[in-house]
Amino acid sequence: MKLSRKEISAFLKEWNLAWANHDLDKVMTFSHDDVFFENWTGAYIKGTSALRNAWEPWFNNHGDFRFLDEETFIDETLQKVLYRWVLEWPSLEPGFEDRLEIRRGVDVIHLKDGKILNKLTYTKTSIEIDSQRLSLHL
């Protein structure tokens, strides 16, 4: 099943809404059973069960986070999306705990059967806190 460009756009809006509502159950409904997720550190996870287990602590422990859509490219033919985002959340950086942290990144998303099969996440190695650019602690 291939999604049209309009359907992919609607899919992404609903997916982003689930993230905005911090609704892990809903976020998981957008993932293919064989989902492959690689995070910004290079660590990866395969399958919805492993992905849920990895994301659950993040949803429960990272406070009021939100992703803002900066730019989205959709390739309807290949069922791929390039999603450039900004993450705003309470910082965990030493000396800046709970201050607003801004992080920028890109997700490369491959769809299969109307769901996310691959989600590859890349982020800048700098963050912004209190209008200061800081190196991300790896």
pLDDT band at residue 62 using 50, 70 and 90 as cut-offs: confident
User: 108 with 120: CB under 8 angstroms?
Assistant: yes
CB 121 within 8 A of CB 40: yes
> What CATH number does residue 89 fall under?
3.10.450.50
Query: What is residue 63's predicted lDDT score, i.e. its pLDDT?
Result: 72
Tens-digit pLDDT profile for residues 69-109: 999 999 999 999 999 999 999 998 888 988 999 999 999 99
Cα(70)–Cα(67) distance, integer angstroms: 9
Q: What is the mean pLDDT of residues 9-24?
A: 96
Average pLDDT, the chain: 94
Look-up of token digits 């803002």:
68
Give the predicted TM-score (pTM) of the model. Answer: 0.92
Count how many domains the chain has.
Answer: 1
Residues whose CB falls within 8 Å of the CB of residue 109, separated by 6 or more in sequence, listed in order: 80, 81, 82, 83, 116, 118, 119, 120
Quick one: pLDDT at residue 137?
A: 72
Q: What are phi and psi of 86, to 5 degrees?
A: -125, 130
Q: Running DSSP on this structure, what letter comes out for residue 64?
A: S
- Examine the pLDDT at 138 and tell me if it is beyond 80: no
Please, which pLDDT band fits residue 61 given cuts at 50, 70 and 90? confident
pLDDT band at 136 (very low <50, low <70, confident <90, very high): confident
pLDDT, position 92: 84
Residue 28 has pLDDT above 80, yes or no: yes
Alpha-carbon torsion 109, 107, 13, 64, what sign? positive
Domain hosting residue 84, numbered range = 5-135
